[in-house]
Amino acid sequence: MTKVLNPEQLDLYHTNGYLHAPAVIPPDLLNLMTTVLSRWADDTIKAWLSQGLINDPRTDLDLQHRLAHLWQAAGRPKYIRSPRRDLVSREMYDILLHPALLALAHDLLGTPEISVHGIFNARPKLPDQIWTQTPWHQDAQYYRDAEQVHVTSIWMPIQPVTEHNSCLQVAPGLHRGPLHEGWNDPETGFLGLAPEVRASLQGVSIEMQPGDALCFTQITPHRALPNRSNQVRWSIDVRYEPTALATEAGQKQGFIAHSPDDPGAVPTCEEWLQKWEAIPSGSY
């Protein structure tokens, strides 16, 4: 497997607990992500149409503006803010197994025996609302069996992200610290860090371009800034872990993604889709 990260980048990742890797996501992978997100947006808009909240699907608008415009027109209804089950598809399988992501995971985890962690998300971050504003948190607060296992998260936007339209912030160097107890944020309902822990964090904003990836560990504190633009901020985040140490939470909806020792261990798309058959649409 070809290396995509140089020694300096890997040193930054292991020292700081995160890495902004420019231009590592190729156009075909960005296209797959756009397809998955566009389908989810279409389904959400169709639901608003069927509920009588809107009467024009505004197919003339682009992906960045359409959902934001129609959400306002529909009366700002609640929607699935962290889609997972509704992303499950052939295209999502192809994203998870994309060679560019497996190469990144290989470099970050230091092993070619790689498993997809079953927790992945889309982030349709609409403007002018706190409900989708993820507070300071550690990913392993959502899957605590990974406290001692390196799970690497890869966060990818499909448009430029800045402090204006909700880039992520990270707290460098705290990936060696404790996994804190989860605290339910009363404003958003997200699980995160308690106020006294948040108060001690110094955030670094990671502004990015389409094709960039933000990689961080399961212990690295991070958050999303508010979206002050008039567009949706779209992103997808995926996770990988070493197969030899694969966690129960990761294996539940995850699978072996790359194995030089046993290439036949990688499931087909149909086998992966079967894992989701009993999980209803709309589930996180």
How do the domains of the chain map onto residue ranges? 7-26+88-274
Arithmetic mean of pLDDT, 155-179: 96
Token pair of 284 as six digits: 């996180």
The region that residue 135 occupies, defined by phi over 0 for left and psi between -120 and 50 for alpha, beta otherwise, is: beta
Res. 133 pLDDT band, cuts 50 70 90? confident
pLDDT at 64: 92
Arithmetic mean of pLDDT, 5-31: 97
| Beta carbons of 83 and 61 less than 8 angstroms apart | no
Pairing of strands 235-242, 121-122: antiparallel
Q: CATH topology for 7-26+88-274? A: Jelly Rolls (2.60.120)
Query: For 235, phi and psi rounded to 5 degrees?
Result: -155, 160
Query: Which among 13, 265, 4, 284 is positioned nearest to 115, based on CA atoms?
Result: 265
Arithmetic mean of pLDDT, 103-112: 98
Res. 130 pLDDT band, cuts 50 70 90? confident
Provide, rounded to the nearest whole percent, the portion of the chain with pLDDT above 90. 89
pLDDT at 282: 80
Strand partners, 170: 204, 222
Arithmetic mean of pLDDT, 11-33: 98
- pLDDT, the chain, mean: 95
Res. 38 pLDDT band, cuts 50 70 90? very high
Query: Which among 284, 278, 282, 276 is positioned nearest to 89, based on CA atoms?
Result: 276
The answer on pLDDT for 56 being more than 90 is yes
CA atoms of 135 and 36, how far apart (whole Å): 25
The answer on pLDDT for 132 being more than 90 is no
Among 114-118, 133-137, 166-170, 204-208, which is the least confidently predicted range? 133-137
Decide which of 2 and 87 is more confident: 87
Res. 80 pLDDT band, cuts 50 70 90? confident
Strand partners, 191: 184
Residue that the structure tokens 């899957």 belong to: 143
The answer on pLDDT for 1 being more than 80 is no
Query: Which among 6, 74, 68, 12 is positioned nearest to 41, based on CA atoms?
Result: 68
Res. 188 pLDDT band, cuts 50 70 90? confident
| Beta carbons of 266 and 112 less than 8 angstroms apart | no
Query: For 265, phi and psi rounded to 5 degrees?
Result: -75, -15
The answer on pLDDT for 284 being more than 80 is no
The answer on pLDDT for 144 being more than 90 is yes
CA atoms of 132 and 135, how far apart (whole Å): 9
